Amino acid sequence: MAYRRVRRNILAAVAGYIINAILVTATEQSLSVLIPATAVMPPLLYLAADLMSQCLYTVVGGYLCCLIARPNGQPALAGLIGIGLLIGSISLFVSWETEPHWYGIALLAAYAPCAWIGWRLRCRLEARPSTDA
């Protein structure tokens, strides 16, 4: 029983991160076509749109994580946040010279709260009493 719960939590964390990564990649590809870079640094409009969309997608990832991990899947959320912060830290280090520092730091700082918001949204929906008669 505990083994199934651990597997479910790992699957939930990985699935939450993968859906986030897929959505971010698709959006960045679209944004790079819609808002072409005029210099080495991406324009502010691109960075702002990317930051907002990544926050939204992290909420979606947290929601999916909770949906898969239910019930008592807080370790899955911790895993999702851990994966995101690890990969985000590596990305921040690699892109330090090519992107504004505020942008990379904002992405990293927003990851955990956005994942938690998605988690809480799903938990609240699960806790809502059924209105079926």
The region of weakest confidence among 11-15, 74-78, 87-91, 128-132 is 128-132
Region 60-77 average pLDDT: 90
pLDDT tens digits along 113-126: 999 999 999 888 87
> Which pLDDT belongs to residue 111?
97
Q: Would you say residue 133 has pLDDT above 90?
A: no
Region 54-82 average pLDDT: 92
Contacts of residue 80, defined as CB under 8 A and 6 or more positions apart, other chains included, come to 12, 13, 16, 17, 61, 62, 65, 115
Any alpha helices (H) in 1-133, and if so which ranges?
2-34, 44-69, 74-94, 101-127
